[in-house]
Amino acid sequence: MNRFDLAIVELFSQSRLHPHWLHQFVEECVAGNDLLKGGLLLAVLWWLWMEPHPEQARRRELIVVAIIAAMIAAALSRAFANLVPFRARPFSTPGLRLEVPPARLFDLKGGSFPSDHMALAFALVTGVFFIRRRVGVALAAYVLLAVGLPRMYLGIHWATDIIGGTLLGIAVASLLGAARIRSALTAPLFRRMQASPGVFYACMFLVSFGLMTRFDSFRVLASWSAHGTADVAKTVAHRLSSQ
């Protein structure tokens, strides 16, 4: 492990920065709080979506692209975690002797690099930055403090995991935000919005909820469905082979 990551972990693990009450507060009220992690970001996006503006059409394109980029960035971060050499989380690294955080605060997705929380959040932040720079900068600082810092404090991620996820989110959102790509991605969706606004906004509500919760509920249903389908297929195959 590199010296930079170790220095950050050692800083946060110092007893004067790790009183029991603060550790408990970060663990119970901040790190696992979907409202703090994603609710504010989505609220800002919908504020910008509804705000009257001469460039409202362009703004809405950027918002839709930011949402698409967030989903892609989160998926890529999970793919990287499984493809690159395994990287243990700080709390499971021998010698550091860090307290193991509750399982609900992290996924056993492979290695810890990069942070999918930061990849998703900074894709959204980048979209906001393209619309309103000052708001985007303020949101970036907020995400680092409310999402990135608690995950380092609890030993869930190394500092370079946070940096990697941040850069991934920015890169994906910047790429998809290019004018030609943005128009190609959003044109079909806006045609759907004009044809069936009720269906469009119902779907956007579900997507917003998914982004706020990192699609945890959706992924649980998908996992159970996949396992159930596999079990049924095995049962059917076994019965056919035994006939």
Domain boundaries, the chain: 3-212, 216-243
| pLDDT, position 74 | 92
pLDDT band at residue 241 using 50, 70 and 90 as cut-offs: confident
Residue 148: DSSP 8-state? I
Percent of the chain with pLDDT over 90: 55
Mean pLDDT of the chain: 88
- Cis amide prior to 188 (ω within 30 degrees): no
154-202 pLDDT, tens digit each? 989 999 999 999 999 999 999 999 999 999 999 999 999 999 999 999 9
Residue range 4-55, pLDDT digits in tens? 888 888 888 776 666 778 878 888 888 888 888 889 999 999 999 999 999 9
In which band, very low, low, confident or very high, does the pLDDT at 243 lie, cut at 50, 70 and 90?
low
CB 150 within 8 A of CB 92: no
Mean pLDDT of all residues in 210-238: 78
Q: Give the Cα separation of 60 and 58 in Å (integer).
A: 5
Report d(CA 54, CA 138) in Å as an integer. 23
Architecture of domain 3-212: Up-down Bundle (1.20)
CB neighbours (10 Å) of residue 126? 27
Lowest mean pLDDT among 135-139, 147-151, 237-241: 237-241
Confidence band, pLDDT 50/70/90 cuts, at residue 220: confident
